Amino acid sequence: MKPARLAPFAFVILWSTGFVGAKYGLPYADPFIFLSIRVFIAAIILLFIALALHAPIAIGGTAIKNSALIGFFLHACYLGGVFFAISEGLSAGVAALVTSLQPVLVSVLALLFLGEKLKKSQLLGLGLGFGGVILVLAPTFSLDIALTAFIGIIVALIGSTSATLLQKKIGSDIPLLAGTAYQYLASGAVLAVAALVTGGTSIQWSAKFISSFIWLILGLSVGAILLLLWLLNTSSTASVSSLLYLVPPATAIEAYFLFGEALSPQGLFGVAITAVGVWLVTKSTN
């Protein structure tokens, strides 16, 4: 199998570990300062990688502004919203379900603003994928959601959707390493301001926090984000966004092995339905 064909699977596995990393790290740090330091360090790493590979660093004012805008929605709004909502008591399952609406929103908006067309099989796949996610996560549902957590996860959904469309429309020509680094620098500044405004600047540097922190930087902020942006640059928004349907089932399977959380027959059936749905969306665009 060609390495490019492995990229979607690698992305799903890496992205799904974000919830595991959050579960490990958030009890020891306030969400915005946690993310701010994380993305600043990731920016430095990417700039060093770019220099080592002789990739362009000076990418022009317009590219930097576009990168900053994408970064604001993808990192400050999406990641900030998810981490804040979980810190306010929202379960990872409900957070994953709400953000799993993103492929549907992206597909509709891409049809309107990017001119992308969806076949009937892809529409069916989007519906199956979302239905499968509900089956997987239904046992974790709770309607006892704080207003602040609800607002946070809605901001995350809007951020993820907006960033995906913007990357496709204005970010595809920006050098990947430098562009992502500028995304992080801009969003890191926003998250730092949010931490100062909310008074959430506390971090306990425990061994468990440090291990989750390192993984979230290397596995997510470097590995998964670069894969996501590369996939968006080379595939349709609908096919890439549909991969996010696989993240909650993958997280559920990881939680089974890492934390002993039960995965019911209903959940396994949901995983299968989700996989079929994603296949229907992506098979016509590969």
Asked if the model's pLDDT at residue 33 lies above 80, the reply is: yes
pTM of the model: 0.82
Q: Is the pLDDT of residue 124 over 70?
A: yes
- Which pLDDT value is given to residue 139? 65
Please state, in angstroms and rounded to a whole number, the distance separating the CA atoms of residues 254 and 62: 41
Comparing 188 with 124, which gets the higher pLDDT? 188
Residue 286: per-residue pLDDT: 47
Split at pLDDT 50, 70, 90, the class of 170 is very high
The mean of the pLDDT values for the chain is: 84
